[in-house]
Structure 1
Amino acid sequence: MGESVEGAVEFEIGGEIVPPGERRIVAIPVSQQVSGLSANLALQVVHGAQPGPVVFVSGAIHGDEIIGTAVIQRLSARLDPQRLAGTVILAPAVNIFGFLQHSRYLPDRRDLNRSFPGSRKGSLAGQLAWTFLEHVIGRCSLGIDIHSAAIHRYNLPQIRIAAGSPYLVELAMAFGAPVIIESPLRDGSMRALAQGREVPMLLMEAGEALRFDRLSIDIGVSGVCRVLAHIGMIEADDGLSHVGIPARANKSSWVRAPRGGVTHRERKSGDIVHKGDLLATVGGLFGEGPMEMVSPIDGIIIGHATLPVVNQGDALFHIAEVAQLEHAGERIGSITEAILASEPEGPAQPLMDEDEVI
């Protein structure tokens, strides 16, 4: 790093020098493609005119989870390096291999979010994980990673954090998503690695794979901006004084189709439900033999299947247990309206670090 004439520190990344108050798109080589051409990690560095924290915002670590890409495009347009304190590293498609193939995985069929810390000379997934660690995570004091549900599934916008961190709770409250979930960390995940490096992380879950929806994008952009405002990087309202209090949870239940056939949903993501409430009915091709699906707990639906044709045992609803459910109603009700405008029972299970159908 060097000094500018004003005394602000230049930012060096991947051999590129970014002067204070400017932005650069940087391509960091990861591996070689079948064609022999270089495959790169594409980053945009927005380097503020004033000193401050270094924060990364990443999307598409699973290549088909593209909501983060849209959020980051909007953020790039909003962030003015001349008015920024610190540095924001934007990574709109971390798993560029899966992104190009519309696939969750890399060509070697590995899950990038189970491959950290990776290795410079390891598998393709390991090389990409190592590159992201070396050039991004290792440079930052905070990360925001954006995921979505799988294809034919929808997730209510939510923030997931590691348990036991008042600072992460504070950041999650500033983000202002409808639900905050304290969830365990998965071995090999970006969040687990970052925690081991003492880099706190927020994980946003929102929307559906391979689709953009306005609600998820709007909540993502507004949430990241509020977090940046809260830690003093931009001049804006962090929302803590007026954004509704999110619901909080640390465990959930999946509700599965009791038979194969065609479903007719009565509930959707964002709905508050009580134990015994009707969620959907599943009947045969002629509607014969309908079977009811009911909520096993009091809580909030944080994810649902969007494909009506199901096999027996398919997970159709994901319900988060919420303490003091009555206090969540007002905020969640407004989110449910926004969703409409834009688009067998078992024990409660822990929520994992990003959405997977268990």
Structure 2
Amino acid sequence: MAKVKINQPFTLLDTRVGVAERQTVQLEVAKLYTHTPMTIPIEVVNGAESGPVLMVCAAIHGDELNGVEVVRQLLSKVDAATLRGTLIAVPIVNIFGFIHKSRYLPDRRDLNRCFPGSEQGSLGARMAHMFFDLVVKKSNHSIDLHTGAIHRSNLPQIRGDLSCEMTKEMAMAFGTPVAIDARLRNGSLRSEASGLDIPVITYEAGEALRFDALAIAAGLQGVENVMRHLKMLRGRRRKQVHDAVIAAATSWVRADVDGIVRAQVTLGERVSKGQILAYIDSPLGQSEEAIIAPRSGIVIGQQMLPLVNEGDAVFHIAYFAHANSIVEQQLETFIDDIGPIS
């Protein structure tokens, strides 16, 4: 039997967290006009046994709320006495956006395009610099929780640079039916962490400013699956999880005219090349334009607002080397495995 290796105290933001202990720390990133501090709340759970340091963060885009609830539920379940390694849980990264129910910072910058940031730059650059240097660099694995943008909903999916073996392992362990080999975007948390050999996967599910029970349940189960894969939690995954099918490519199908959308397909549905995805009508019904699927695939994202302008993205479709029916079956099994949603 392998000898248990006792963990060591963990320090974050000058706060020492003992073995088998947890502490809440606050990262001050800015002040309001009133000089009231704006702080990012962080919970550190330092396990009894040694192991990886995993950061789980949400709301880098301040209006993406599902991940905030995933982190809350995760913290209610994790026990420092039985944890291996250290969990850094950050439910709200973009505290400004969260307060204002906005994706962006007050200067309209996207915090997820500001990494690694700088001490002398914009508000976003300074926040990114502090968060990256003082928190992200303390981890050796990371899960970044997201949703679709406002009025857009995403099928539960994992995105990551799957050319990195550990990133791919984490993506497969998470357990969504679809994984996307997503290129690294300059200024994103994923891109900058990758440069330091910190593997990051991004979970996308649901819609901004909305709680989605399935997306939250799947996100919580997925994070726990990754933690078990990293041997941070004891035991095997509670349910059989099929490997995600990796998308060969994805693309958005856009509206060619302005009008009112009548969708004919839904998230997770298998579509065939040439199939009608939606109709766009004029308010008086005098004209009608069909949106046609350019290739066969699975709908992984959809605009939920039934009003579009010419050029608006309406459906996000993933294309697979495998038969699309396999992915559809995976999705049905995935929903069944999540179980009843209360």
Q: What TM-score do you get using the length of structure 1 for normalisation?
A: 0.89
Matches within 5 A, 1:222-241: 222-238=221-237
Amino acid at match of 1:47: N
Q: Kindly report which structure 2 residues correspond to 1:180-259, keeping only aligned pairs within 5 A, or say none.
A: 180-238=179-237, 242-259=240-257
Shift of 1:130: 1.1
**Amino acid in structure 1 at the alignment position of 2:254:** R
For 1:47 and 1:333, the matched residues in 2 are separated by: 37
3-state secondary structure, aligned to 1:324 = coil
Match of 2:264 in 1: 266
Q: Following TM superposition, by how much is the alpha carbon of 1:82 offset from its aligned partner in structure 2, in angstroms?
A: 0.6
Q: Which residue of 1 aligns with 2:41?
A: 42
Which 4+ runs in 1 deviate beyond 6 A?
336-339
Deviates more, 1:327-336 or 1:252-261: 327-336
C-alpha distance in 1 between matches for 2:168 and 2:285: 46
1:87-141 Cα shifts (integer Å, max 9, x gaps): 0001101000111011111112211111111122332111111111122211111
Residue of structure 1 in register with 2:311 after alignment: 313
Given that 1:273 and 1:300 are in contact with CA atoms closer than 8 Å, whether structure 2 keeps it comes out as yes
Check whether the contact 2:45–2:80 (CA below 8 A) recurs between aligned residues.
yes
SS in 1 for 2:147: strand
Number of residue pairs matched? 335
Shift of 1:57: 0.3
* Unaligned stretches of 5+ residues in structure 2: none
Q: Percent identity?
A: 41
Letter in 1 for 2:45: V
- Counterpart code for 2:319: E
1 CA distance for matches of 2:322 and 2:86? 39
1:52 is matched with: 51
Aligned-partner residue type, residue 252 of structure 2: W
Cα distance in structure 2, aligned partners of 1:124 and 1:163: 32
Residues 92-131 of structure 1 aligned to structure 2 (within 5 Å): 92-131=91-130
On the 8 A contact 1:117/1:133 being kept in 2, the answer is yes
Equivalent-residue separation in structure 1 for 2:129 and 2:248 (angstroms): 30
Which sits farther off after the overlay, 215-224 or 311-320? 311-320
The one-letter code sitting in structure 2 at the alignment partner of 1:52 is G
| Paired residues of 1:271 and 1:336 also in contact (CA < 8 A) | no
1:284 alignment counterpart: 282
Partner AA of 2:172 in structure 1: M
Structure 1 residues 8 and 172: alpha-carbon distance in aligned structure 2, compared to 1, 3 A threshold? closer
Distance 1:106 1:210 in 2: 16
* Alignment match, 2:177: 178
Q: TM-score, normalised by structure 2?
A: 0.93
Deviation, structure 1 residue 289: 1.4
Matches within 5 A, 1:55-74: 55-74=54-73
Tell me: CA distance 1:338–1:234, structure 2 relative to 1, closer, same or farther (3 Å): closer
In 2, the alpha carbon distance for the partners of 1:163 and 1:8 equals 30
In the other structure, the counterpart of 1:294 is: 292
- Is this contact kept in 1: 2:28–2:37, CA < 8 A? yes
Unaligned runs of 5+ in 1: 1-5, 343-358
Conserved 8 A contact 1:270-1:336: no
Aligned residue in 2 for 1:132: 131
Task: Name the CA shift for 1:309/1:167 in 2 (closer, same or farther; >3 Å).
Answer: same
What per-residue deviation string (whole Å, max 9, x for no partner) do you get for residues 300-328 of structure 1?
A: 11100111122222111000111112322
CA distance in 2, matches of 1:218, 1:317: 24
Question: Does the CA contact (< 8 Å) of 1:226 and 1:236 recur in 2?
Answer: no
